[in-house]
Amino acid sequence: MEWRDQGLVLSTRKYGESAVIASLLSPEQGRHLGLIRGGQSRRRQGVLQPGNLVDAVWRARLEAHLGTYTLEPVHDFAARVLDDPLRLKGLAAAMALLDASLAEREAHAAIFHDTIALLRALEAAGTPPDARPEGEGGAPVAPDWAVAYVRWEVSLLECLGFGLDLSACAATGTADGLIYVSPRSGRAVSAAAGAPYKEKLLPLPAFLRDDACEPVDMADIAAGLRLTGYFLTHHHFVEEGRAMPAGRVRFVDAFSA
């Protein structure tokens, strides 16, 4: 058995004295594990950083076997964000979420390409958040990569089978005044319809329902992370009997610091 595809390195773990087992995400093969002989060498470790894009060849005698990988570097996204701890944590959070949430060997081309777009946004970022201009009320404007990250988590929810419906109010059908999300259904709720239940509803940041919304401040990003985090936790990880990946927790903690 053999396949060839591009893949994003999600994680590695040591195997024996010199090998590693690598988890890759490819558009056609999905999240797929394989053994890399000599993967613990210093030369290989640079290629195997989470978030790096590689050309992968997987071979095994039978399809059900773990198999072995041969990898060639394509693009080192991880190295491009090393100078910014927050962007590096964002990259690590995305890779950890993919590795923890996607079923093995199920093709997910859409989330693969969405992840490449997120990594390019992380790579392109330059100005740290505390140096950016202020928005309304003096709140610092969020960097574009942070907006892209929250939208990426919305895409991941859809990939996992729990897409948010933010197009119209769940109670009235109106598309106006949408400021909440129902924690049960994942549907938007208008200010009027949600007023009696606002303590039980999740805030909906405007940038998630309007792509042209500007500026997006850091409080909006924090609200977006709470929103997506709620559904990732309660509608995926809890159902699977697992906790939110530590990489995502560290990113949110760093972002909120």
pLDDT at 139: 64
Q: List, by residue range, all CATH 2.40.50.140 domains of the chain.
A: 2-76
pLDDT at 129: 46
Report the C-alpha gap between 51 and 81 in whole angstroms: 10
Alpha helices by DSSP H, listed for 160-245, are 191-194, 218-232
pLDDT at 239: 87
Q: List, by residue range, all CATH 1.20.1440 domains of the chain.
A: 81-166+204-256
Report the C-alpha gap between 190 and 195 in whole angstroms: 8
Report the C-alpha gap between 48 and 169 in whole angstroms: 45
Ordered per-residue pLDDT tens for the chain, 257 residues: 999 999 999 999 999 999 999 999 999 999 999 999 999 998 888 899 999 999 999 999 998 899 999 999 999 999 999 999 999 999 999 999 999 999 999 999 999 999 999 999 999 985 444 444 455 555 678 999 999 999 999 999 999 999 999 999 999 999 999 999 999 999 999 999 999 999 999 999 999 998 878 789 999 999 999 999 999 999 999 988 999 999 999 999 998 77
Report the C-alpha gap between 229 and 205 in whole angstroms: 14
| CA separation, residue 171 to residues 140, 168, 191 (Å) | 34, 9, 11
- Overall fold of domain 81-166+204-256: de novo design (two linked rop proteins) (1.20.1440)
**pTM attached to this predicted model:** 0.93
Question: What is 2-76's CATH superfamily?
Answer: Nucleic acid-binding proteins (2.40.50.140)
